Structures are given as C-alpha cells and as structure tokens.
Structure 1
Amino acid sequence: MKESAERDSRNFLFYYYLNLVKEYSPKAFVFENVPGILTARKGEVFLKIKEEFEKIGYTLLSGTTNIDKNNVIDFGEFGVVQKRKRVILFGFKKELNLSYPNFHSDRFQWSHDLNTYNILNDLPSLHPGEGSDHKLSLYTNTDIKLNEYQKYMRKDSIGVMNHKARKIQERDRKIYELSIKLAEEGNQLKYPDLPTELKTHQNEKSFLDRFKVHPFNSMPHTVVAHISKDGHYNIHPDLNQCRSLTVREAARIQGFPDNYKFEGPRTAQFVQVGNAVPPLMSRVIAKSIKKMLLK
C-alpha cells in the first residue's frame, strides 16, 4: 500500500480484536495481517498494538526474530498452494512465557508439484458464462488420475458448488488470449505492450500487472478480495476456456475443501474466499500452538 498505509484507518481495527481478547481472556491468540502492519507509520502502528495488548496482560510476538520487519512468512512454504506473504502475530498471557510457534514442524508436505495444473485440472471445464453459483455440479473429469492435493480437496464431496464463470467482453477475451499465450512461454503481459485498440486508459505506469495468468506449470500467485471486482488478475491458464477463475477455483487455491459452500451473490463469495486465512495454514497454526499449550 506504500504511502496510503500511513493514512489507512484499518490499521486501527485491532481495537475490536483487543476487546474480544480482553472479554474472553484466552491463553493465547493469533492475528493474521498483511506485512504492511509491521511498517505502517514507520512502525508506530505495530508498536501501539503491542503496547495495548501489554496493558491487558499479553505478550505479542511477530515471529522468531527480534526485528519485526524480518518476520514476514510465505504461506507457500507451509504447503499452501500459493505465494502468499503475510504476518502471523502470536499473543499469549505473560505468565505462560511462551516462544513463537514452530510452524514448519506441522507444514503440509505434498508428493507432487504445487502448480496450477495439479490444483485445478480435475474441476469441470467452463466457457465464459457457464456453470452455476449455487447448484451442485458433479465431477466430470472421471478419467483423470487424482493427485494427493485433489483427493484432499474432494474428501466427503461428490461435486462442486460456486463454480460459475464470469461472462467476458470481446476486448477482454482478446487480452486474455494474449495473456495466456505469453504465460505459456513463461512471460507476463504488461499493459503498455497491449495493441492500441485494446487499451482503455492512458495511464501506463500504474496498471502494469492489470492482467495476470495463473500459469499451469507455476505455483499460483496470491488470491485476494479484489477478485470480487474483476477477474483480470486471476486469469485461468487454459486457452480453450479463456476466462477468469471461478469462486470454486479461487477456493481451491486458498485450500478450501470442495464441500465448503459460499453464500450470497458471487461478489460476496469472492470476498469470503479472498479475505480468508487459507484453511490449510489455519490448520498448521492451530496444530503448532496446540502442541505448545499441551506441553
């Protein structure tokens, strides 16, 4: 967020969480956030957060080192199938005198590459506008040999919901085709490189990465709530489908099992998925802290 983080009122939403901790007095708590929380206002915001929790009897750690800004972790290193840099703040009652959890000891270890192909290729193929937001669609690719991750996602499920593809305008379809073809060659389309007739604005410095594909042979990039506004930053890598990700595909990347149902209109569903802590990472965090507390 750069300079806008200096003015962002969301930096102070932690007061709501502070009140919850104060009310229920847990032994420990976790607090996930974007890396900017550590450096906002030159570190003053995080210093304030630590001070406020200190006042109610809690120690708050940002990671394993004493230098807070060095404690950013990538969830992709723990078995989550996307590059997702975040901060996990760990708080505990002072008298417990705990250390920061060792999340690596409980990370998921898959027997195959964590690329987009291995995550999404077993889901029903869709063209723009096809699929359903709330109707159950049975698995169609029955001849595919499922990998370990796909079996984990399919557990206790006979199909998928929230698998509806956005419609697409002709201009965007042409841009998606260009993006996918470049991604197949290991390159990314930059906005200034678009043909003039496909450009919609003159600002060619602020929107360099406006269109981005999740390449089949690479780990997916971070899925965030902005996917609710448009799908340009989350283009499906299959040229035959030529569309953006569905809610279900975004959920697969986030690590939500297929039997999760997302409620409300599609915009709200995307927000639910994009704002979530990936369930796989939640499991890693919970197991690590449980072992620590049981000791």
Structure 2
Amino acid sequence: MNDNVIEKLERLRQGHKARVLDLFAGCGGLSLGFHFAGCNISAAVEFDKDAARSHGLNFHGGDAKHSEAIDITVTSPRALATKLKLGPVKKCIDIIVGGPPCQAFARVGRSKLRQVDEHPEAFIHDPRAKLYQEYLHYVDQFEPVAVVMENVPDMLNHGGRNIAEETCEVLAKRGYTCKYTLLNAAFYGVPQMRERMVLIAYRTEAGVAVSFPHPTHWLKLPPGYEGSRAVALKTVRALTSAHSYLEPPVASPDLPPAITAEEAIGDLPGINAQELLAKRQLSRGARRFDIRMPYDLARPASRYAELMKKWVGFEAPAEGLLDHVIRYLPRDYALFARLQPGDQYPEAHARAVKMFEQQLEKLRSTGESIREGTKKYEELRKSIVPPYDPSKFPNKWRKMWRDQPARTLMAHLGKDGYSHIHYDNRQARTISVREAARLQSFPDGFTFCGTMNPAYKQIGNAVPPLLGRAIAENVLQALGVVRKQKGTDPDVTWLKAA
C-alpha cells in the first residue's frame, strides 16, 4: 500500500477537488472537461507556444509561469512542481490526463513498449519514444490515483501492434488497474463524429474497477466510421492476450439524437463570403482576432448553443466574438454555393468543370476567342477549377450536413479547412474558427491565442471538452468523489444519460 496514494484517496472522498495535471495538453480540451466536472487544473505541459499560452490564459488567467511552452523531455516532474509551486511531487497531483502524440510510437519498431520501459537506453536516440518514457516517468513521480490517456484509434492496430494493450501492461507493473476502449464524441453531446481511444487506469489501492461513461445521445454512425472502428479492433480481437480491452458502452436509440451541425453553429452571425468579396471586405493575409462581431439575436439558439454561451467561467463575451473569422478562398466561394450536403472533392471538381465550361461558352457567345491550350484558356480554367486530381483526393473536400453532427475535425484545419464547408449555401465558405470551436464543444468564452491558423490547429488537435467531461465524471464517480453542484451552473441535465 502506498501512503501517498491512500492520503490522496481520503482527501478526494472527503469532498476536496481533484488536482489534475494535463500532459501534452494542447489548448486544454481535456482540461476543460475535467474543470467542468469540478476538478482543479493544477498544471499542464505543452510544447507548442500558442497552445501553451491558450491553456495558461484560460485556466490560470494568463499567469506567465503557466503560459510558457514546456518540453517534457528536459523538464523533470520535480522541476515542474517547483516552478509552478505545486508542492511535494508525490503529494500534489491526484489525476494525470493526456497522452503522448501518436508520433511517439512511430519508430519504436518491433519491440514492445514494455521492453522500451525495461530498456530505455536502447531508444535514447529516438525522441518520440522518449516522449512515452517521460510520460511514464511523470506517472511514477507524481503517483496519481488515476490516469486518463486519449489518442487515435490506430493505437489499437499500429503496424499490427496494440499500443494501448502494451501501455496497460506497463501501467499494471506500476500498480494500476487499466482498461481501454473506443468512444465516439457524438454519443456524449458533441456535434462531431470523432472516434478516439480512451484508456483509464486506477491505482489498485482505490479498489475500483474501470468502466467507461454511458452515452447520452444516439446516432447511427456512417459506414466509414464503423469501418475504421473495425480496422482498429482487428488486432484486439485477434489477440487472446488483449485482456485489457472493454467493449464500448452501447448507445440506445431511445436516447436523444446527437447534436447536429445546425444546432451547434446555426445561431452564430452569418458570414456571406461572396458578398464580402464583392464589397472588397475580405482579403488575403493573417486573420488576427482584433475585430468584434456581435451576436445576431434574431438567430434562434439551441440548448447546445445556450450551453456554449453560458458555460460558467467561459461565458460568451457581451461585446461579441473576436474569432468568428474565415479563410480567404476567392476561387471557391461560388463553387461552395453549388455543392450539395455530403459532396466531396470528386463532386466539387465535376461541378467546377461545368462552371468553367458555362463561363467559357458565355465568353465565346460574346465573340471572344478563347481556344483550348492558350494562356487565356488556362488562366480562366485555373480561376474556377481546383487543380487536384479527383481520383487521388476523394476525401479532400466535404460539404457538411445541416442535420447531422460534423465529421472529424483535424489539425489540418490549420492549412485549408476544405474538410468542413458550411452547409448554408448563402454563406458559401469553410467554417470559421469559432464554428470549429463550437463543433469541438469549446464554449464561446474560451480564448485561443495566436492568429487564425494556429487557432484552427489547436482546435483540431483538442479533445472535445464535453467528451472530457463525460470521462471526468465517470472517473470521479468511480473514485467516490461527488461534485458539489453550484447553483449558477447552466442546465446540463439534457447531457445526462436517461
């Protein structure tokens, strides 16, 4: 029995807030979920400067010590605790959340992670393997009563290996009971079909079994998501040794339907891209968050939108939104307006070719000579038709459905955003930074540091806060912690399972 762990468990069961350390925290999606559940976000480790600033601003009021980027490979647990004045390393943290980036496992090779753990010197020249070692080192030193790791489903079948199972084997040697599963964010009130591996581990002193949160919403996942899940589970079901895997909790059709894209972003101010372009109010260049856009009170808000506006501690700014900004894509706005929901790049390319042919015929009808192969012909085609081969980029674009959750948001939003074209033909554009945040379940008062591209990247990399909340409440309940509900909290009963 570990006296520090016993002391932490007693403290939590007496009603004290759980103290959370978020590793590889990003801007703080998982932190926000645990904060919503009543935890204290004591510290975070994040290497990206903009994301670290966002985390420090939202959870520590911009305190400089909490806003600095931290390299986990050169910052020891003791150094972190000293820098942030957390207290004795063994006593100051109750729960560690987060997970090494999936690239950390890319070059570990054929050896198992448990062998990396046992023979770390063999991987001293592989910085990505070192991220995994440092993660375990933080767990060793802080001795949390619970560990939560989130990552991509491919962790279950990474080159024929099950990284999640190997991680459980390593944690078991350190005194933890560990299980993992796959959860889809759409089943937990997030307006996005985002599939993730979630691993939960408890110290054996806690005497509790691992379980996962019951869904609060129902959705029939599209075939692509079911197929991806099947691929991820292939290794799990092929190995009799995968004893740490639990089947995901099943969503019932009797639950409320999943939150749709329109419920998530339909109340936000409209941005008519073609109109702004015609008025020369949209131009190329970095999008800085320095112009307020007031809410349009005439637009009805769903219960989900109201939660995003009234999230305690992250309420909507009364003056309006600073980050409701969009990309400058002048070639494509007219094309976006002609796409149907669900259309992807092959459909978009075919539509663009037709638009080009119509424009070509119109110009020729006026007597203008534009022959195929000429510079004028090629320039006109380039101004209308995207250059990518539709047979090689079938999933590059997608127009969202109004009445379904969005597809998975990726960090790639920081480069083009074509994966999420707004469902509203009148607006005819890709989603704004704030719309991306809404689809990821970040409240309107959550601030993203940096300009537009870094903000998109932070959002795409994040754990959806409402999925984090469901996991956090499940963990706290298992540990015997009961949250003292505040009278000022927004109504979230509709997020609870029936």
Per the shorter chain, which TM-score range?
0.7 to 0.9
What TM-score do you get using the length of structure 2 for normalisation? 0.51
> Which of 388, 402, 419 is matched with 1:201 structurally?
388
Take 2:327 and 2:291, find their aligned partners in 1: how far apart are those partners? Answer: 17
Q: Counterpart of 2:263?
A: 118
Is the CA contact 2:183–2:196 (under 8 Å) kept in the aligned structure 1?
yes
Q: Does 1:278 align with 2:464?
A: yes
- Superposition pairs of residues 48-127 of structure 1, within 5 angstroms: 48-63=166-181, 72-104=182-214, 107=216, 114-127=259-272
Q: Counterpart of 2:120?
A: none
Is the CA contact 1:80–1:108 (under 8 Å) kept in the aligned structure 2?
no
Residue identity matched to 2:327: R
Take 1:153 and 1:102, find their aligned partners in 2: how far apart are those partners? Answer: 25
What TM-score do you get using the length of structure 1 for normalisation? 0.83
Is the CA contact 2:177–2:210 (under 8 Å) kept in the aligned structure 1?
no
SS in 1 for 2:157: helix
Take 1:44 and 1:291, find their aligned partners in 2: how far apart are those partners? Answer: 28
- Superposition pairs of residues 262-277 of structure 1, within 5 angstroms: 262-277=448-463
Q: Counterpart of 2:480?
A: 294
Q: Counterpart of 1:176?
A: 336
Q: Counterpart of 2:402?
A: 216
Give per-residue Cα distances to partners, 1:237-283, cap 9 Å, x unaligned. 11122111111000000000000110012111111111111111111
The Cα of 1:94 is off from its aligned counterpart by 2.8
Take 1:191 and 1:230, find their aligned partners in 2: how far apart are those partners? Answer: 17
Take 2:446 and 2:173, find their aligned partners in 1: how far apart are those partners? Answer: 39
Q: Counterpart of 2:308?
A: 153
> Which of 131, 140, 146 is matched with 1:22 structurally?
140
Q: Counterpart of 1:66?
A: none
> Which of 181, 185, 189 is matched with 2:344 structurally?
189
> Which of 13, 17, 35 is matched with 2:153 structurally?
35
Query: Residues 61 and 78 of structure 1: is their aligned pair in 2 closer, same or farther, counting only changes over 3 Å?
Result: same
> Which of 120, 141, 149 is matched with 2:296 structurally?
141
Take 1:77 and 1:111, find their aligned partners in 2: how far apart are those partners? Answer: 10
Residue identity matched to 1:84: R
**Count of equivalent residues:** 276
Larger radius of gyration: 2
Q: Does 1:233 align with 2:419?
A: yes
Residue identity matched to 1:99: A
Take 1:33 and 1:276, find their aligned partners in 2: how far apart are those partners? Answer: 10
Report the identity percentage. Answer: 26
The Cα of 1:132 is off from its aligned counterpart by 6.4
Q: Counterpart of 2:433?
A: 247
Give per-residue Cα distances to partners, 1:156-200, cap 9 Å, x unaligned. 222322111111131x23442333xx21xxx42342752555241
For structure 1, the 5+ residue unaligned runs are 64-71
SS in 1 for 2:202: strand
Take 1:283 and 1:93, find their aligned partners in 2: how far apart are those partners? Answer: 21
Query: CA-atom RMSD, angstroms?
Result: 2.9
Is the CA contact 2:334–2:428 (under 8 Å) kept in the aligned structure 1?
no
For structure 2, the 5+ residue unaligned runs are 1-101, 109-127, 219-254, 274-281, 354-380, 482-498
SS in 2 for 1:48: helix
Give per-residue Cα distances to partners, 1:9-42, cap 9 Å, x unaligned. 4984433321221121100110001100011131
Q: Counterpart of 1:69?
A: none
Take 2:328 and 2:213, find their aligned partners in 1: how far apart are those partners? Answer: 41
SS in 2 for 1:234: coil
Residue identity matched to 2:307: Y
Q: Counterpart of 1:8?
A: 106
Take 1:7 and 1:257, find their aligned partners in 2: how far apart are those partners? Answer: 32
Query: Residues 133 and 83 of structure 1: is their aligned pair in 2 closer, same or farther, counting only changes over 3 Å?
Result: same
State which drifts further: 147-156 or 13-22.
Answer: 13-22
Take 2:137 and 2:183, find their aligned partners in 1: how far apart are those partners? Answer: 27
The Cα of 1:5 is off from its aligned counterpart by 8.4
Query: Residues 120 and 257 of structure 1: is their aligned pair in 2 closer, same or farther, counting only changes over 3 Å?
Result: same
Residue identity matched to 1:231: G
Take 1:19 and 1:222, find their aligned partners in 2: how far apart are those partners? Answer: 32
Query: Residues 89 and 173 of structure 1: is their aligned pair in 2 closer, same or farther, counting only changes over 3 Å?
Result: same
